[in-house]
């Protein structure tokens, strides 16, 4: 497959790639960061934080594989604020309006039948660190890590806590067994049943090629501004609508997630410190019950809301699905007895920090209110503010039906 290379760096950034930033407040890299942050201020609906430049002691050359979806832009945003030189490698199809003049762009497609054919744009160049946010199959990671291993120092692979095949035990750490497949090489990553295991094989592929130089980051549900799944947004938006709100269980089931901005900042911290190992990346720093999470969502709005908690058995009897109808919620029993208790000790020891849950809910609600309605299309449910429909969670009509059944039980 033909690949193209297009450089759109602001003048001088490439030449400054190896220059220290201390004492250089007007360097091209700082100017680049400031330009991007001003653009973020001018377009708040993009959901990227208007970070002030805080240059790192050493400017890094960072190569993002992906970088334009949800986590990627937040991480690029933070990298630019730190004064790093950024290269994006992707297909050039998603959010092409972002970072037009601030980074170098390389185009290709690692999802070709032969991944090496799709990444020829990476045949030249040296970087301090690769940040891989788009690897879903081990052959993709094997190809990228294999091609780059002699020209990079560090590889950060964004994996998932879905690598674990077992959620029945509390306080699981990174030593817990990961899921496996009978035939991973021919498994389709688009099949949700294969997702976690394939990510585990991706981790192994990177570590086998670059032993001791890989950080495998396993996030939980990534949430916050720019999350178009509405899996987290459902709750602050629903509380903002007010009235009787159906809440799942008795409030004691625990939930874990990670604010995308905290994750992005920490990934750059890992790059700056050349950290390696395996890390569960999810928070907060304590075990968060569903009731406290809902209270945080309620605090993000002044709209009166009446919380109505319906037990798990009732919800199951009325075909209310955990996670999809009631986002974030999985009752802690049976195969999911350990849900919401996964250890993040390794990540916090490596510098991961968490902003208050209420801040995430406030910012997510503010971002959501600035988003346009979106009609239904293939693979995506309609988002309509007036009707209260979102891409996750219950429709208002369905919620009313279940609430009436609860009141009349």
pLDDT beyond 50 at 348: yes
Q: Given a cut of 80, is residue 76 above it in pLDDT?
A: yes
107 forms bridges with which residues in the sheet?
90
The yes-or-no verdict on residue 5 having pLDDT over 90 is no
Cross-sheet strand order for the sheet of 222-223: 222-223, 254-259, 283-289
CA atoms of 245 and 237, how far apart (whole Å): 11
Residue in 278, 260, 282 with CA at minimum distance from that of residue 338: 282
Q: Distance between CA atoms of 239 and 230, rounded to whole angstroms?
A: 14
Euclidean distance between the first and the last CA atom of the chain, given in angstroms as a whole number: 62
Tokens standing for residue 284: 């907060």
CATH class of 234-256+287-340+356-407: alpha beta
Predicted confidence at residue 138, as pLDDT, reads 97
pLDDT for res 289? 98
Which band of pLDDT confidence, cut at 50, 70 and 90, is reported for residue 15? Answer: very low
Residue 211's CB is within 10 A of a number of other CB atoms, namely 9
Handedness of CA 10, 119, 136, 190 (dihedral sign): positive
pTM comes to: 0.89
Nearest residue to 245 via CA among 374, 120, 399: 399
Alpha helices of 114-241 — where are they, by DSSP H? 115-118, 138-148, 192-209, 234-241
Q: Tell me the three state secondary structure of residue 308.
A: strand
Which of these, 233, 235, 248, lies nearest to 330 by C-alpha position? 248
Diameter of the chain by CA atoms? 71
Pick the CATH number of 5-224+257-284 from 3.40.50.720, 3.90.1150.10, 3.40.920.10, 3.40.50.150: 3.40.50.720
pLDDT band at 208 (very low <50, low <70, confident <90, very high): very high
**Site of tokens 């600035």:** 370
In the chain, where the domains are located:
5-224+257-284, 234-256+287-340+356-407
Same fold, 5-224+257-284 and 234-256+287-340+356-407: no
Q: Which 8-state DSSP code applies to residue 153?
A: E
Mean pLDDT of the chain: 90
pLDDT one-digit tens code per residue, 129-160: 999 999 999 999 999 999 999 999 999 999 99
Instruction: Tell me: pLDDT of 164 over 60.
Output: yes
Strand partners, 384: 389
**pLDDT (tens digit, 9 = 90+) per residue, 232-253?**
999 999 999 999 999 999 999 9
CB 158 within 8 A of CB 206: no
């Amino acid at each position: 497959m033909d690949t193209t290379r297009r450089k759109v760096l602001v003048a001088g950034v490439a030449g400054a790639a190896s220059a220290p930033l201390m004492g250089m407040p007007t360097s091209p890299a700082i100017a680049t960061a400031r330009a991007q942050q001003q653009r973020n201020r001018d377009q708040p609906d993009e959901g990227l934080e208007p970070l002030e430049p805080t240059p790192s002691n050493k400017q890094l050359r960072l190569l993002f594989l992906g970088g334009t979806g949800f986590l990627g832009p937040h991480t690029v945003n933070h990298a630019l604020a730190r004064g790093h030189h950024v290269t994006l490698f992707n297909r050039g199809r998603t959010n092409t309006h972002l970072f037009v003049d601030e980074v170098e762009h390389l185009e290709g497609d690692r999802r070709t039948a032969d991944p090496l054919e799709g990444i020829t744009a990476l045949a030249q160049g040296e970087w301090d660190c690769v940040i891989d946010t788009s690897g879903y199959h081990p052959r993709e990671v094997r190809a990228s890590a294999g091609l780059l291993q002699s020209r990079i120092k560090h590889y950060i692979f964004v994996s998932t806590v879905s690598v674990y095949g077992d959620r029945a035990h509390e306080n699981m750490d990174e030593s817990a067994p990961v899921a496996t497949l009978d035939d991973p090489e021919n498994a389709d990553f688009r099949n949700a049943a294969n997702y976690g295991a394939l990510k585990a094989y991706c981790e192994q592929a990177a570590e086998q090629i670059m032993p001791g130089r890989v950080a495998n980051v396993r996030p939980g549900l990534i949430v916050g501004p720019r999350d178009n799944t509405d899996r987290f947004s459902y709750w602050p938006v629903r509380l903002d609508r007010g009235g009787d709100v159906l809440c799942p269980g008795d409030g004691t089931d625990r939930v874990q997630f990670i604010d995308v901005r905290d994750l992005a900042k920490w990934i750059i911290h890992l790059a700056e410190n050349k950290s390696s190992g395996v890390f569960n990346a999810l928070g907060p720093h304590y075990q968060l019950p569903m009731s406290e999470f809902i209270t945080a969502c309620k605090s993000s709005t002044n709209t009166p809301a009446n919380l109505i908690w319906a037990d798990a058995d009732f919800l199951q009897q009325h075909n209310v699905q955990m996670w999809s109808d009631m986002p974030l919620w999985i009752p802690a029993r049976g195969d999911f007895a350990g849900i919401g208790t996964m250890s993040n000790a390794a990540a916090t020891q490596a510098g991961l920090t968490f902003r208050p849950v209420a801040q995430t809910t406030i910012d997510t609600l503010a971002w959501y209110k600035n988003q346009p309605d979106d009609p239904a299309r293939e693979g995506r449910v309609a988002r309509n503010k007036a009707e209260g429909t979102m891409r996750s969670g219950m429709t208002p009509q369905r919620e009313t039906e279940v609430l009436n059944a609860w009141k009349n039980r």
